[in-house]
Chains A and B, each alone.
Chain A
Amino acid sequence: MALLEVENLHTQIKLKKSTVQAVDGISFTVEAGETIGIVGESGSGKTMTAMSIMRLLPNGGSSPEGSIFLDGRDLLQLDDEQMAKVRGNDVGMIFQDPMTSLNPTMTIGKQIAESVRIHRGAGKQEGLDRAVEVLSLVGMPSPQQRARDYPHQLSGGMRQRAMIAMALANEPKLLIADEPTTALDVTVQKQILELIDGLRERLGMAVILVTHDLGVIAGRADRVNVMYAGRIVENTTTEMLYANPRHPYTEALFDSLPERGADSGTRLYSIPGMPPDLTKPPAACRFAARCRYAQDDCRAQDPPYRVDEVGHEFACFHPVGAALRSGEEVEVTLSEVTSTEELPTPELGEVLLEVTDLVKDYPITKGFLRRQIGSVSAVAGVSFSIRKGETVGLVGESGCGKTTVAKLIVGLEDTTAGAMSLEGADLAALKSGERRKKSRDVQLMFQDSYAAMDPRMRVRTVVREPLDIQKVGDKESREARIKELFEQVGLPASALERYPHEFSGGQRQRVGFARALAPAPKLIVADEPVSALDVSIQSQVLNLMKDLQAEHGLSYLFISHDLSVVRYVSDRIGVMYLGKLVEIGPAEAVYSKPIHHYTRGLLDTIPVADPEVEKAKASSGIVGELPSAINPPSGCRFRTRCPAAQDICAQTEPPLVPYGTDGHLAACHFPIWE
């Protein structure tokens, strides 16, 4: 018998006027000791599935229907007191954001001990001893001392370790990890995922890994359930899913991944439209409205689950792929050729933006008189240039200074030292009035468009604002320009009357893009423009950015922590570490033949949506955590985490020198260069 058997689970969330069918009849099983992945986009019901197992539903959540058997006991039949004994004892859970899930007024040790004391009736000292024990189990350095720390004293990665320790304190049989690494940096993400994997093996527990990231799931899960609109649409082993997806939705998701596009140099496939409204789900196949292969029967009735010859389960009338790849392939002609279309190659012109030795220090002040007691070195001597029509990508962990570079270029922050020239004019030397005029030429696209738009303004006013400020043309010409922009970013002109909160994430990002385009800039600085979006929506925005670049000869400075996205959009990639540019060069060269150890480590650390590659990864990637920028390490700033560091790295800072002839530069004493 399986450890966990979920059968025909239905969960509803009541809103003010309607009811959302968040989970609509799903069934799956988890065997002891295995890792099950649940993958889906936001709103697909994956978190609600996890919460239903724990019976921790948000306000308005009705008690789930169906059955959830854990070790032969139906959790849905238990009363609240019995269920409380199951939570944290038989089933442990890790949440997305460790900061909000930990009580800020209690020490880590006490919080872990609390659950031991509740479930095992342990005494105060016994509980604390157990806390220290599990903290060392999850790889927390000096657990005795850390147990006495408060959550804010720990870094994000350490907090997530504490969360895991808490979930494991009573040795649960099942661990539910809901997006356990989404709030963490890639280098830390890898460490945490490896930790969960190792603990699963050692403690023999089962893990349900809930995530939106196809890369995370590829290397970790034994079986994968793909969810869409409250249903499981496909369920099979990880290898089979990635090698041979049968449901068109899964296939479309893979086609939307930027690494696929970057490998083949083609446009990304983007799933048209939006997921259905789950307050009134369609009685037919829920994906039919967005499906490339949809037929009349898909729109008329609900496809039942089917199992093919190799045990691959899916719910589709017209599955893609074949049961056995070696068997005869079914010929499928696509009406939409976008996914094989060649990408437009922009023509590179002369240098547009030249950044030289850019430095930004933030002072740390103390006391009433605001005496300066130190400074945070956010950007320390960064130089690069962007040519007309070129996209330069900037990658790095959070805290590496990439967003500060963006703010300096668009003029939201003043530089401490260094020069920036736009078409020969030194931006830092301009008077404020002229700087304002120049700001037309450089526009910023924000990560969170919702936060970047005044909630009390209609999007018409939002998009018109840069034109009003810069006094471009008269009223009619501004109106005409707005309509034109909306058409370009693929939104109907009637949507101009709406407020920002009425749009979905992807649509808002389009509005944000329209606003950035409004004053006809030469350079758009895009700060993480797609990191808040789902994969299928992300590809729409990326395609749009590429199209309009070719059309208008725009240059982009594309900032992201996601190397695969940066590689897809960029001509050149710069890698930043702790305020320094450590490597810059042509996108393919940086990606396939990195010179700096940090770049190498980043590449090894980022999860790839391919189980073969993921499982074959031998190196552990980058270890440890980012040092403080208040007292950055001497010499090479990466030396504290570098596998090749020697004495010289601590004494002299390596200069950025060219390797080869294609403009590939790196700053390392011991480069990876044959």
Chain B
Amino acid sequence: MDEIVVESPGQGDNIPPTEQMLGLEPTESARSMFRRGLEVFLENRLAVVAFGVLVFYVLMCFFGPLLYHGNTSHVQMDEITLPPGPSHPLGTDQNGVDELGKLMKAGQISLEIGIASGVLASVIGMLYGAIAGYVGGWVDSIMMRTIDALLSIPLIFALIYLASTLGRTKTVFIMVIALTSWFSLTRLTRGDTLTIKVRDYVAACRMMGGRSPRIIFRHILPNTIGTTIVNTSLSIANSVFALSVLSYIGLGLQAPNDDWGGMFANGSSYLDQNYWWMIYPPGVSIVLIIISCNFIGDALRDAFETRLQKR
């Protein structure tokens, strides 16, 4: 048998090991959860394209008017219903108003109301659901039965009623759409909360003496954020759509403050004259925004799934 010389491995219990010894790759230490989520998001090509579309629309609607000055305010009888051409890239409408300029202005309203009410609905829904789920018992029962009752009112009926009684300003539309679209997120957040509140890390926090607000805001809500963000992106799409529907049936903002839905409604009354440039631009815009939001939502769902982040 060979003579055995034992070397000192130098790895006693009390010497803190280096990261390599622990099998942790050093390059990864600085990467935050956000960075890793972003990587997963970027792997989804469709979502990246959708995000590009969204950015394109935001830039076009909010910064486009600084570069492109189309007539959007007064009637020009000598320029009515012109097809797309060099002076009017998207043509003009029945009043001689430039379609591209109008698309930008209407887009501002659609996007503002859509995003504002989508986010507002998410905040309400998330908090309501988390509180109902966390408190539980009869409080939960009352809160959730209230939601059931509200959900039994047909959405379009509620929208029409509220829009026609409260007046037709931007703020009212934001509030009305938000107040009719937070229920689904509430149910999802409550479900998440019910599973999270029995987890050991919540027990650990309670054991250390942590109070309910800390548990809800530091532990439960951050762990439902995936659901919330996905739902927000879908909720924005729904809000854009809801506003379009209201405008289409003539209950939107007053002209000339049309949104895309209003433009589309206006264009569709000239359908038999074949003025396609009055219908397609707002119609396609609505569809693109809704589809983009849905794709982004899907990719965010993956990005927030911690288990998918590594490997």
Contacts and interface: CB of A to CB of B under 8 A. Distances in A.
Interface of A: 15-17, 270, 272-274, 277, 292-295, 317-318, 322, 330, 332-336, 338, 410-412, 435-437, 439-440, 443-444, 446, 448, 451-457, 465-466, 469-470, 486-487, 490-495, 497-499, 501-504, 507, 515, 519, 540, 543-544, 547
Nearest to A320: B4
A15 B308 CA distance: 12
B203 interface: yes
B7 A335 contact: yes
B18 A492 contact: yes
Contacts of A444: 204, 207
Given A293-B4, A293-B6, A448-B200, A487 B33 contact: no
A465 B218 CA distance: 10
A487 B16 contact: yes
B29 A498 contact: yes
B22 A274 contact: yes
A547 B13 CA distance: 10
11 contacts: A277-B23, A293-B6, A295-B4, A411-B207, A412-B206, A491-B17, A493-B16, A495-B22, A499-B33, A501-B307, A501-B310
B13 A470 contact: no
A502 B310 CA distance: 9
Contacts of B208: 439, 443, 465-466, 469-470, 519
Interface string B1-43: 1101111110111111111011110101110010000000000
B7 A492 contact: no
B311 interface: yes
B199 interface: yes
Chain B contact-residue range equals: 35 or more
Given A469-B205, A469-B214, 7 more contacts: A270-B13, A336-B12, A439-B208, A440-B209, A452-B201, A455-B306, A504-B22
Nearest to B226: A456
B197 interface: no
Contact of A490 (B6, B16, B23): B16
Interface of B: 1-2, 4-9, 11-19, 21-24, 26, 28-30, 33, 199-201, 203-211, 214, 218-219, 222-223, 225, 306-307, 310-311
Contacts of B211: 436
Contacts of B206: 412
Contacts of B201: 451-455
B31 to A, nearest CB: 9
A270 B6 CA distance: 17
A498 B16 CA distance: 16
7 closest A-B pairs by beta carbon, nearest first, are A436-B209, A272-B11, A452-B200, A451-B200, A335-B8, A466-B208, A439-B209
A456 B33 contact: yes
A452 B203 CA distance: 8
Nearest to A333: B6
A330 B19 contact: no
B184 to A, nearest CB: 23
A84 to B, nearest CB: 31
Contacts of A491: 16-17, 22
A338 B13 contact: yes
A515 B203 CA distance: 14
Contact of B23 (A294, A411, A504, A544): A504
Contacts of A455: 201, 223, 306
B223 A439 contact: no
B1 A15 contact: no
A395 B183 CA distance: 48
A415 to B, nearest CB: 15
B200 A470 contact: no
A272 B9 contact: yes
Contacts of A440: 209
Nearest to A527: B200
B311 A17 contact: yes
Contacts of A273: 11, 17, 21
B203 A335 contact: no
For B14, B16, B199, B211, the residue with the greatest tally of chain A CB atoms inside 10 Å of its CB is B16
B209 A318 contact: no
Contacts of B23: 274, 277, 504
Given A452-B204, A519-B208, A292 B19 contact: no
Given A15-B311, A465-B205, A498-B24, A454 B9 contact: no
Contacts of B28: 498, 502
A318 B13 contact: no
B13 A295 contact: no
B27 to A, nearest CB: 12
Contact of B13 (A274, A492, A519, A543): A543
A439 B209 CA distance: 6
